[in-house]
Each structure stands twice: as structure tokens, then as C-alpha cells.
């Protein structure tokens, strides 16, 4: 069975969606599916046609075309149309972030190959318009099935387009348990980790502010900021202004394979996100038995259970982050217990095998029932 897997973010770009998608593709291919990937050029030094572990990858310059270049839009529509004609997918599985405009090219070519659409929502949809004359609204309404990476994301989608309620469900993001075993939390010289794309929504500026207050109580504390992005210069400046330059290390991007080893070197993972669909880093932390301090936004409260696997704080509250970190660093045994509880829960609730099996079952159902699966109200297999 042929699946056209559509994700604007894909290897070698880095992010939660990218890490999840590459894992899913290889796991589902092992279950007999044939994939091609449609993705977006973020950088023109990558080829239009590529391969990821033998899976064909087609990159399109979606974003430059949206810069009101209507000729390029028409040409991309034509190329996507031809790709659909030649591959003749049995299912289109589209990963949608709120800003996934490329979905319009799926809609523009939907008649070319009337295969069902599985839409997976990865991010917060709050405050967006999803009326019948919007891309978001048409994507949600044209899907044969909608999955969301958290209850929070699903609730927002259902609020925007209530009719999807009977053809939507949560499939939690998941990751395989790393082969590397977790090591004890380093408490003598506490290390905090912020991991992710460096942009405003991740709130790493709040973590730096919290660190500045924390040093009075924990003078040996350090922070690692891993990732890169447009906010990096400002964060580096902030660290210097706060007198934290010696304590904060910016290590740039970390290969996903190296994340478990990085987790083993830290005491607490800090996620001060201003918005977050799921928060895959919280899961990466849990799998390495690290407690997390996170904000109560999006899906994070579903990944981090307050006072069981980490501590939750209000968004945009650096003081709250400081207090949470003081609690954890001041009670190392509690922090260790939380990390272990997080690892155990992660293996149960965010089981990789269950996630792969859920998509496998959904693929089977949708392909078998064709484009009108939702019209019959067929429940998706749990």
C-alpha cells in the first residue's frame, strides 16, 4: 500500500515533528507500506529529489512561492499533481502545524488522486479561523480522519470544527526507549538543559532569567542550551547581561541520536514554552529519567504530570521556574523519584510500539474504506 507522507518539516531539519516522522516512516515501512515524502525546501542547497534511508523525498519551494509568486505556485501545483499521478497513493498522510500552508497544494490536487487524507495535527490551533473559506477549515473538513498529538490540540481542533469530532482522535507522539541506560542525576554540580529550536515561543529567555535568581541558592548550577535559531543572538546577549556567560553553554544543534547521552549529563530539563503542541523534549527527558520543569501550555501537562514526573508552572513566569528548580535541586531524592516515574510512565503512555500500531491500524482502516470512512462514522481502531 502506497502512502504519500507530507510533512513540511523533515530530515535533515530538526524538531519534534521531524524526529517523530523519520521514526514513524521507517517503522511503518517495516510493516509493508511504500512511502514517498513531500516536504519543503528550507534551504536551497538540498536537492529537489533525495532519499531518506531509501525512501524517496521530494522537496518543493513552497515558502518562496507563497511570496505572491503565482507562476511558481501554478508550477508547484502541476509538479505535485504529476507526482500524485505517478505514485497513485492509497492514502495521503499530512502533518499539519498551524502554519502548514503547503496543505493548499494537496487541496489543489485532491481531484487528481481521490485517496483519503489522514491529517495529523502537531500544534496549537488556538485563535485561528477555520471557517469554510480558510485553508485550515478546508483541510480539517476534507480529511477522512484527523489525529492530534495531544488532547489539548484535539480539543482546539474540535472547537474550531465540531464536525470532526466523530472522525478524530489522539495518537500521542512517542519515541523508542533509548538503548543507553539512564545515569544518576548529577546533583553536586547541577546542570539544567534547554533543548529545542531557539525562537521566542520556546521561552528560553525565561529559563535564563530564572537561572539568574537561582545562582544565589545554587552557586554551582550551570545551564546547557542546545539547538539553534533566530533567538540565539538575543539569548547569548541576555546571558552576558545577566552575568551568566560562564554558566551557560550554547552547544548548537544536537543530533537526535546524541540526545540520550546529553540527557544523562543534566539534572533537570527546563521547558518554559509559550506554546507547545506536545513537547517531544519532555518525552526525551522522561525516557532518560530526567524530571522536567515545564509550563502549563498545550500538550505539556499531558506529558509532564505535576509533582509526579516534573513540576508545572504558569507560562511567562520566570519566578515560578526558579521556585520549581529550587524545589527539585533542593530535594535530589524527590527529583530522582520523579525522573524514574517519568521513565516508567513514558514507556506505558507514550509507547513507541503502540504509536506505530495505531497509525498502522488507521492506515489499514482508511485505505480499506476509502475516502468516505468518516461519512460512515467508522471508529478508528484504538
Q: Please report how many Cα atoms fall inside a 13 Å half-sphere around the Cα of residue 179, on the Cβ side.
A: 2
Is-contact 106 94, C-beta < 8 A? yes
Provide the 3-class DSSP secondary structure of residue 268: strand
DSSP state of 379: P
What's the closest the beta carbon of residue 163 comes to other proteins, in angstroms?
18
Give bridge partners of residue 31 from the DSSP assignment: none
What's the closest the beta carbon of residue 239 comes to other proteins, in angstroms?
18
Provide the 3-class DSSP secondary structure of residue 40: strand
Q: Which helix (H) or strand (E) holds 60?
A: strand 55-60
Hey, how many other C-beta atoms are within 10 angstroms of the C-beta on 347?
A: 16
> What whole-number distance in Å separates Cα of residue 50 and Cα of residue 59?
8
Q: Which of 1, 238, 253, 349 binds other proteins (CB under 8 A)?
A: 253
Binding mask 38-67 for other proteins (x = CB under 8 A): ----xx-xx---xxxx---------x--x-
* 117 in contact with other proteins (CB under 8 A): no
Binding mask 171-210 for other proteins (x = CB under 8 A): ----xx-xx-----------------xxx-x---------
* 229 in contact with other proteins (CB under 8 A): yes
Is-contact 170 355, C-beta < 8 A? no
* 131 in contact with other proteins (CB under 8 A): yes
Is-contact 291 339, C-beta < 8 A? yes
What's the closest the beta carbon of residue 171 comes to other proteins, in angstroms?
17
Binding mask 12-41 for other proteins (x = CB under 8 A): xxx---xx--xx--x---------------
Which residue number, 34 or 201, has a Cβ lying nearer to other proteins? Answer: 201
Quote the radius of gyration of the chain (alpha carbons, Å): 21
Residue ranges binding other proteins (CB under 8 A): 11-14, 18-19, 22-23, 26, 42-43, 45-46, 50-53, 63, 66, 68, 70-71, 73-75, 77-78, 81, 98-101, 104, 107-108, 111, 128-129, 131, 133-138, 175-176, 178-179, 197-199, 201, 228-230, 232, 252-258, 352
Amino acid at each position: 500500500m502506497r502512502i504519500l507522507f507530507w510533512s513540511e518539516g523533515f530530515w535533515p531539519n530538526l524538531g519534534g515533528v521531524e524526529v517523530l516522522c523519520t521514526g514513524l516512516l521507517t517503522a511503518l515501512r517495516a510493516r509493508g507500506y511504500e512511502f514517498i515524502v513531500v516536504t519543503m525546501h528550507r534551504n536551497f542547497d538540498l536537492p529537489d529529489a533525495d532519499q531518506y534511508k531509501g525512501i524517496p523525498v521530494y522537496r518543493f519551494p513552497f515558502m518562496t512561492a507563497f511570496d505572491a509568486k503565482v507562476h511558481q505556485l501554478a508550477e508547484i501545483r502541476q509538479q505535485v499533481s504529476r507526482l500524485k499521478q505517478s505514485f497513485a497513493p492509497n492514502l495521503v498522510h499530512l502533518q499539519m502545524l498551524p502554519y502548514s500552508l503547503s496543505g493548499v497544494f494537496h487541496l489543489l490536487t485532491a481531484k487528481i488522486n481521490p485517496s483519503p487524507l489522514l491529517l495529523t495535527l502537531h500544534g496549537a490551533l488556538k485563535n485561528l479561523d477555520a471557517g469554510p473559506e480558510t485553508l485550515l477549515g478546508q483541510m480539517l473538513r476534507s480529511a477522512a480522519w484527523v489525529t492530534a498529538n495531544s488532547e489539548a490540540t484535539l480539543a482546539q481542533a474540535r472547537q474550531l470544527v465540531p464536525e470532526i469530532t466523530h472522525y478524530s482522535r489522539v495518537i500521542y507522539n512517542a519515541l523508542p526507549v533509548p538503548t543507553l541506560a539512564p545515569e544518576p542525576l548529577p546533583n553536586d554540580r547541577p546542570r539544567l538543559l534547554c533543548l529545542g529550536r531557539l525562537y521566542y515561543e520556546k521561552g528560553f529567555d525565561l529559563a535564563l532569567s530564572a537561572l539568574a535568581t537561582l545562582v544565589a541558592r545554587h552557586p554551582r548550577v550551570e545551564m546547557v542550551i542546545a539547538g539553534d535559531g533566530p533567538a540565539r543572538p538575543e539569548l547569548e546577549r541576555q546571558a552576558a547581561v545577566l552575568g551568566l556567560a560562564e554558566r551557560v553553554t550554547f552547544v548548537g544543534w544536537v543530533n537526535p541520536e546524541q540526545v540520550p547521552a546529553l540527557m544523562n549529563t543534566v539534572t533537570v530539563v527546563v521547558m518554559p514554552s509559550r506554546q507547545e503542541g506536545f513537547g517531544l523534549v519532555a518525552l526525551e527527558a522522561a525516557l532518560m529519567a530526567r524530571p522536567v520543569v515545564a509550563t502549563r501550555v498545550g500538550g505539556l501537562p499531558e506529558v509532564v504530570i505535576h509533582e509526579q514526573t516534573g513540576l508545572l508552572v504558569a507560562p511567562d513566569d520566570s519566578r515560578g521556574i526558579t521556585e520549581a528548580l529550587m524545589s527539585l535541586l533542593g530535594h535530589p531524592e524527590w527529583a530522582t523519584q520523579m525522573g524514574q516515574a517519568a521513565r516508567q510512565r513514558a514507556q506505558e503512555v507514550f509507547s513507541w510500539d503502540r504509536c506505530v500500531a495505531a497509525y498502522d491500524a488507521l492506515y489499514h482502516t482508511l485505505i480499506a474504506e476509502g475516502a468516505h470512512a468518516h461519512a460512515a462514522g467508522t471508529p478508528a481502531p484504538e
